[in-house]
A and B are shown apart, each in its own frame.
Chain A
Amino acid sequence: MGLSLMDKAVEIKNLTVKYPLSEKFALSDISFSIFKKEMVGIIGPTGAGKTTLCLCMKGLIPHMIPVRMDGFVKIFGIDTRESSVPELSRKVGLVLDDPEAQLTQLTVEEEVALGLENLGLEPSEIRERVREALSLVGLEGFEDRAPIDLSGGQQQRLAIASVIAMYPEILILDEPTSNLDPVGKEEVFETLYKLKKEKEITIIVVEHEIERLAEFTDKIAVLYDGRLVMMDTPKKIFNLVEELNSINERVPQVTELSYNLRKRNPKLFAEELPITLSEAFNEYSEIVEGGL
């Protein structure tokens, strides 16, 4: 089956962005495509341009934030310049890294319903979607609580619920698990995976949780200093240990361990390093059972 143009959820070509008061380019000549139903992780050090890229894919750049922008961003084949923020917001959902900044309502239920009311949905449909979204993020029973009184992690899950309730076709999340406990982080990634599988949503996630990215994503894009330096499968990317370390990115713990051991015995993992816990377990269980 060939991929037609319409299979591209996001197409970015020669994207260059400069903020008015900055001498540096926030993004320089970025080109890549994300296909429908893909889950793509974006990594890179602070200041690499990850959040700016999210704002471009959501259309807030250039519509709401005055910048100099060259090149183009197409969402399902339509140039964001020729679209509008309301039109784009039906297709693209964005969850920001500071959840509190996104919460405005007096109760959890109203918070999730707000965007749906703006879409002009029937009350019964709104109720059903609020219920579904809160259950997806594990906040059932919190309907009447005040968002401002929730814990940091609960606020983060509420922000995600408010966006997924709008059934976006593309969901962009800027560090969605940063305030969550370890099990909560895992639950968010499992929720994203479920959304991708069941609702065929395209997911783009900026994260420092690389152990989870290695497990769940189809592709990883690495940004550094406003440029896209690599984009490939997590297996290929996390095997580039030295390249990642040189731009101050780390690799999953099991990959670093295996990389270090390969230095002691080059016969080990000669083809490729394990990048997930289950891959590592398979490799090492043979080694510790019988020796090499």
Chain B
Amino acid sequence: MSNNTVIEVKDLIFKYNEYVTALKGVSCEIKRGIVTAIIGQNGSGKTTLVKHFNGLLKPTKGIVLVDGKDTREYKIKELVSKVGYVFQNPTHQLFNTNIEDEIAFGLRNLGVPEDEIKKRVEEAIKLFKLEQFKGRHPLRLSYPFRKMLAIASVYAMQPEVLILDEPTVAQDWVGYKLIRNLILDLRKRGRTIVVVTHDMMLVSEVADSCIVMKDGKIIAHEKPEDLFVDDEILKMAHLKPPQVTQLASFLHNINSNIPRNILTIKQMEEVLLSYITH
């Protein structure tokens, strides 16, 4: 395993019970310092896979290595300070009586000094725009803010690898931009981010690499610009590229000078500019 691999999964099989095999032999490497998107159909095993990265689930067969060490050999505390996981459903994760304690909880478990905890809680509340909810019970927040709080409480632990499971679900445009910018900012600071998502706009804007899953297996591991023109994989995995990429693809068919692998509105604008200004 090379040094720029932070998580390595080898021949992972996971059975929830004797009838349901969620992962049917999965192997992959998560590279350090980049954003990896895990995408694919509902029920394809995405969440089951990432729950192995921080030891929430242990393999039925196969092996998961974090920094070269088997997740089964880690102490829980050691692993969760390295790999932070934000649940898909925030309600599964929130249990304190006010939002400050919710964010502080993980930090206290890690033994972070109280004054440092206070600082980090304040910072997270500000960053995730939760000021208006200070002192409020987490479950009295609306769903999108509960989701932000769940992310905030894992973010505050400053894990080396941050796993976000469907972070943009239920977020409005402000929330979307906040999460997108957070991911880009963490990447700039050299952190590793794994994002499980159905949001193809988010994938097009942040992902360096995409792992595509179907029926408990990985069917592709490629860059978004390659994935979004890979019709066979897209179809197999129930995916649709962002609208602007679909437009580029259609236009490519009538004029091959238009590249198919456009990811963003900005890129498409640049391409079309020469056709509209003479």
Q: What residues of chain A have their CB less than 8 Å away from a CB belonging to chain B?
A: 44-47, 51, 97-98, 100-101, 149-154, 175, 178-186, 208, 211, 248-250, 252-254, 256-257, 260-261, 264-265, 268, 277, 280-281, 284-285, 287-289, 291-292
Contact = CB atoms under 8 A, between A and B. Distances in A.
Given A152-B166, A284-B251, A254 B243 contact: yes
Contacts of B41: 181, 183-184
B42 A289 contact: no
Interface string B17-59: 0001000000000000000000111110001000000000000
Taking residues whose C-beta sits less than 8 angstroms from the other chain, chain B's interface range is 35 or more
Contact of A184 (B47, B238, B275): B238
A173 B170 CA distance: 13
Given A178-B169, A183-B240, A292-B275, A46 B175 contact: yes
A285 B251 contact: yes
Nearest to B235: A183
Contacts of B257: 288
A289 B243 contact: no
A205 B169 CA distance: 16
B88 A277 contact: no
Given A249-B173, A285-B254, A288-B251, A153 B43 contact: yes
Interface stretch (B63-71, B74-82, B120-128, B141-149): B141-149
Contacts of B47: 151-152
29 contacts: A46-B144, A46-B172, A97-B143, A100-B91, A149-B20, A152-B42, A152-B89, A181-B40, A182-B240, A183-B41, A183-B238, A184-B41, A186-B240, A208-B171, A248-B172, A248-B173, A249-B172, A250-B173, A257-B247, A257-B269, A260-B265, A264-B277, A265-B276, A277-B247, A281-B250, A285-B251, A287-B275, A289-B254, A291-B275
B145 A280 contact: no
Contacts of B217: none
Contacts of A153: 42-43, 198
Interface of A is mostly: helix
Most chain B C-beta atoms within 10 Å of own C-beta, residue among A45, A51, A208, A289: A208
Nearest to A281: B250
A182 B200 contact: yes
A149 B143 CA distance: 21
B246 A277 contact: yes
Contacts of A289: 254-255
Given A46-B145, A289-B254, A150 B43 contact: yes
B174 A261 contact: no
Contacts of A285: 250-251, 254
B1 interface: no
Nearest to A276: B243
B42 A179 contact: yes
B265 A152 contact: no
A211 B272 contact: no
A67 B104 CA distance: 33
B268 interface: yes
Given A46-B172, A175-B170, A289-B254, A277 B142 contact: no
Nearest to B177: A248
Contacts of A284: 247, 251, 272
Interface in B107-124: none
A287 B276 contact: yes
B278 A291 contact: yes
Contacts of A211: 243
B242 interface: yes
Q: Which 3 residue pairs of A and B lie closest in terms of their CB atoms, listed nearest first?
A: A153-B42, A183-B238, A151-B43
Contacts of A184: 41-42, 198, 238
A111 B278 CA distance: 62
Interface string B167-185: 0011111111000000000
B272 A261 contact: yes
